[in-house]
Structure 1
Amino acid sequence: MIRTLLRVLGHEYARPVRRTVALMTAAAVAEGLSYALLVPLLRALFGSTPEDAWPWLAAFGAAVAGCAVLRFVSDLSGFRAGTSLLRGMYHRLGDHLARLPIGWFRGGRLGEVSVLASQGVLQAMGVIAHLLAPFVSALVTPLTVLAVLLAFNWQLGLAALAAAPLVAAVQVWTARSMAATDAERHRRDHEATGRVVEYLQAQPVLRAGGHGGERFRLLDDSLRNMRDASRRSTLAALPGSLGLTLVVQAMFSVLLVVGAYLALDGSVGAAEVLAILVLAARCADPLLSLAGIGGRLRAARQELGRLDAVLSTRPLPEPAEPAQPASHGLEFESVSFRHGDRRVLDGLSLSVPQGGRLAVVGPSGAGKSTLLQLVARFYDVEAGAVRMGGVDVRAMRTEDLMARIAIVFQDVYLFDGTIEENVRIGRPGADEAAVRAAASAARLDEVVERLPGGWAAQVGEGGARLSGGERQRVSIARALLKDAPVVLLDEVTSALDPVNEAAVHEGIERLMAGRTVVMVAHRMRTVQRADRVAFLDGGRIVEQGGHDELLRRGGRYAGFWEIAAGMGTGVGVGVASGEG
């Protein structure tokens, strides 16, 4: 497990971990040797001259004090190493997650990563601080005492040694029998957590549809499954715990019988037998604790395995020799891409000259948003290339690429802070005048004026205290402040009221000026401002040309336009825009 821990964290942590393990082992050995002093102490105490016990008593006291110092130093080292490992793990996990492709976070991975980054990391890294010392003591101290018994009397030593393989066998058997139940319990815990969150988030929909009872049954089933899995896990651990107790008690009984036989035979004295039984009784506690410690170590090992699996996921590769684009035109050359088993783009070729405007129109699932994600390198293409200024985006450093791109999505996420702090994410070092200018261009200043607290108004987690239109204005102001030459917009006005839509469109117009912009939108009127339109369906370009030209052809685009005109809105449109 220590090897896995060091592999996960890196070898720079090997030295403090090894030092901690060495100190804990030394403390456990010293504790076992201090117990060995009980033999001459009790022999003298129950002998003909009890006063001879004083030197041994002093030696025993000194040994106990030395053990206490060693234990304090080893525990302190364990806490310091654990804190260092915890900090290092959080840094490494955060850096690694930031480099993984966005597609990796799909499905249920967000919940898994959330749990892993909280209790999972704490449980795995807590091994050094909280579990390693009692585990080492439970193993090394009894082994040291066993060596003392063998040196004092080989018959008693062999009687105690016979328990060692039995203890090991019980631990291995328990670990194997609990592997399946532990995995099931983790899966059921994760499922129940998801059901609870789902049930709480879906309350408005469920109550409106009158399905609260049905959803409650689903939640109740998941909680019942979690209870049953916990019960099975507990029952699976019970035989191992009882078996370990029986082995330890049997060892103590065997030592008692052998000691009594040797005492009656005259081979050893009663004081020696008493001392050996005291040693055996003292070793019983750490041996019995192995059952509980083993269970906690198995749980920590599982969390460590999950961390190792996440950290073993290959991030997007960085170029050895980064290239810099000469301009900011975009080109998709024979691009193919798939999500899982579904092919999203198939040999698609498009170009957006710097300062040009390209509208991409198509039905839902046609791959429009994927184009934006490939430009930002949220994914790498399966075949072909995406280029900026003639340079493959894979040949650019991630920092250089993202410095040239500002992104505004339909679902805007704001961090729990003030409006100004969320705008400044676009360019943290911007002065106040630049922030105010970006806000004015996005018409965010209107929102600021009517909110209590103004720029210091708290937006809440995810921007919950603002409306959708207000969040979009913050997002556009953030993009304007960044002042990037390439802007990606994804359906930013699809669900806004007319007032906010007008304000957002005004901000978008200012954002597009002088920049290359890639937009996906539902509003068809945006397409009329494009230099060229491409109709995308099934990951392929079906039609392309000017807006008026495509209408005259009467093809797929014209049909979409007629539907949009009849509905008074647009359906599935994407635009790449810049200064024409």
Structure 2
Amino acid sequence: MKNRVKRKNGVFEALRMAAAAHRLLTAGTILCVAASVLASLVPPLLLAGIIDRLTAGIPLTFLAALLYFGSLALEGALSSAQESLLVLFGQKMTHALRSEMSQKLTLLPASTLVDQNPGEVAARFSGDVDTVEALFTSGIISMAADACRIVSILVVIAVKNTGLALILLLVLPLFAVFTRVVQKRMLAAQLDNRRAVAAVSGQVPETLHNIRTIRALGLESYMERRYDHCIGDSYAAMERTNFYDAIYSPVVLVLNAAVVGIMMLLSASGNATVLTFFGMSVGTSVAVINYISRIFAPIESLGMEIQTIQSAMAGVKRIDAFLSQPERAIPPERKDAARGDVELCHVTFGYGEKHVLNDFSMTVKQGEQVTLVGRTGAGKSTVFKLLLGLYRPEAGRVTIGGVDVANITDRERRTCIGCVEQHFSRVPGTVLEQITLNDPAITREMAREAAKLAGIDAAIQTLPEGYDTVCTDGMFSQGEWQLLSIARAAAADPAVLLLDEITANLDAETEARVLEALRRASAGRTVLSVSHRIYENLGGRTVEIKTQVQ
């Protein structure tokens, strides 16, 4: 059996391919970020020149004012464009990543999916992918832009005022550490608040669900204390968040004022040695003050961006683990159809360490009808899963018409084998789509013939739009849903029909109707049914599967 060509799996590989597919957007985003950083340096320099000219007695010209306000407008426009491009770029990356994950999901073996928590798998597509989007919109690129902005401002300040640059090199690391500590504590408080809110939200339905017991035992006060305790935890967490948020801005303002004050005192000291490092013109001092106010915001943003990247990398690891799972083998197309005898030859299979089937063999001749019986857990449904190719046996072979079920392609599987389950699995869409499952090989006429065969056509015709009526939960009775399931299984004219306890929850009258439909659908087909009781009126022989003793 040939395996499909192995793809390079991984978050960064998928993102690299997406970035290559959107070259113009990628290049435009990088150029816009670089231009935005450079544009932020221009207004203070222009303002310094204007003030120096004014102090020298040179009047302000219209061109100089136009250049200054134009630079401010350009800075704002580039900043806005940067944010828009980052959001668009992040959306393109997450769309590509979700597409890669969706494709991966279709290629995973059923055994892999069964072993996973559906909620965790869904979280990979929602929460984890959203953190990857944040990796771009407020993570790596933004962090690089802020780092470049800080370095650029320090370079300009070092050229204009060497002493101030030295002071900033001493102050900024301490401010960065303070920012990181505050952000970590705010994050911890926010997480505590989320947990407390979740506890409060969970207690409300718990109280409603157990209201009779609570009132019967007089536990109202106890439940009220539990609720108050959860609310108190939420308030305490919010107070911590508000405290750190309240002290941070004043600290930034005080630090900004302190640096400016020290700079002004030193530049006005009159000492020749001090002025060598801190001396500057009036215009330069205005520009430097402007730069000082601009340098603290990127440092604050850097702390948040580092936090975003850390959170995103955790999501990247979980997505990478999902994408690195081994894929099922895709068999090549065959000319010969998988039609004929159904055979399980010396099959051994188990879930984990426990064997459900041990050296099990069974042959069902083409056109024969067989009912599998046995105690719960004996392996009846497992036989069906092996025949459907959902699992691979640990030993032995499972074949239909001499073709290993693992070699049956997805395209031909429905024409080879159909399955009617105990509960109908409804998909979004019309009644017609319930039968065809959007398979282009099944025409409207084929679907209607299958419905007539199952005895559900008349009920469908009474619907407002017939086969084009959108399905809802209460549209059919339980027996009619089973008839629709039979129509779905028979629509592609499969050679083998599997019936899995389909009348277990039906009343006698409905069961008789379903069995009549099954007799019509089973004509000329190989039929295997699973039951705790024998469908004598379906005919055929019975095979008992005995519980394996380990």
The CA deviation at 1:316 is: 1.8
Q: 1:213 & 1:399 partners in 2: Cα distance?
A: 59
1:477-556, aligned counterparts within 5 Å? 477-526=487-536, 529-538=539-548
1:158 is aligned, of 158, 166, 181, to 166
The structure-2 alpha-carbon separation of the partners of 1:403 and 1:212, relative to structure 1 and needing over 3 Å to count, comes to farther
Q: 1:245 & 1:258 partners in 2: Cα distance?
A: 20
**Aligned positions, number:** 531
Amino acid at match of 2:133: M
Aligned to 1:98: 106
1:149 is aligned, of 146, 157, 166, to 157
Q: Deviations over 1:430-487 (max 9, x none)?
A: 3443222211111112422454544344322xx4543221211111111111212232
1:103-502, aligned counterparts within 5 Å? 103-106=111-114, 109-118=117-126, 120-125=128-133, 127-129=135-137, 135-166=143-174, 169=177, 246=251, 249-250=254-255, 253-265=258-270, 266=275, 267-319=279-331, 327-425=339-437, 427-460=439-472, 463-502=473-512
Amino acid at match of 1:258: M
Amino acid at match of 2:355: R
The CA deviation at 1:419 is: 1.7
Give the secondary-structure state (helix, strand or coil) at the position aligned to 1:142: helix
The structure-2 alpha-carbon separation of the partners of 1:175 and 1:513, relative to structure 1 and needing over 3 Å to count, comes to farther
Instruction: Say if 2:146 and 2:302, in contact at 8 Å, map to a contact too.
Output: yes
The structure-2 alpha-carbon separation of the partners of 1:402 and 1:449, relative to structure 1 and needing over 3 Å to count, comes to closer
Q: 1:315 & 1:489 partners in 2: Cα distance?
A: 29
Structure 2 gaps, min length 5: 1-8
Q: 2:146 & 2:460 partners in 1: Cα distance?
A: 63
2:42 is aligned, of 20, 34, 41, to 34
TM-score by length of 2: 0.79
CA RMSD of aligned residues (A): 4.5
Q: 2:480 & 2:127 partners in 1: Cα distance?
A: 35
Q: 2:39 & 2:438 partners in 1: Cα distance?
A: 59
Q: 2:228 & 2:488 partners in 1: Cα distance?
A: 43
Q: Does 1:6 align with 2:12?
A: yes
Give the secondary-structure state (helix, strand or coil) at the position aligned to 2:265: helix
Q: Deviations over 1:511-553 (max 9, x none)?
A: 222233332223422597233513231389xxxxxxxxxxxxx
The structure-2 alpha-carbon separation of the partners of 1:145 and 1:54, relative to structure 1 and needing over 3 Å to count, comes to farther
TM-score by length of 1: 0.75
Q: 1:478 & 1:281 partners in 2: Cα distance?
A: 69
Q: 2:333 & 2:106 partners in 1: Cα distance?
A: 21
Aligned-residue sequence identity (percent) comes to 24
Give the secondary-structure state (helix, strand or coil) at the position aligned to 1:354: coil
The structure-2 alpha-carbon separation of the partners of 1:319 and 1:287, relative to structure 1 and needing over 3 Å to count, comes to same
Q: 1:339 & 1:262 partners in 2: Cα distance?
A: 79
The structure-2 alpha-carbon separation of the partners of 1:319 and 1:118, relative to structure 1 and needing over 3 Å to count, comes to same
The CA deviation at 1:63 is: 3.2
Instruction: Say if 2:371 and 2:535, in contact at 8 Å, map to a contact too.
Output: no
Structure 1 gaps, min length 5: 541-580
Q: 1:185 & 1:318 partners in 2: Cα distance?
A: 48
Give the secondary-structure state (helix, strand or coil) at the position aligned to 1:524: coil
The structure-2 alpha-carbon separation of the partners of 1:65 and 1:112, relative to structure 1 and needing over 3 Å to count, comes to same
Q: 1:379 & 1:234 partners in 2: Cα distance?
A: 54
Instruction: Say if 2:370 and 2:543, in contact at 8 Å, map to a contact too.
Output: yes
Considering Cα pairs closer than 8 Å and 6+ residues apart, tell me whether 1 or 2 has the greater RCO.
2
The CA deviation at 1:293 is: 5.0
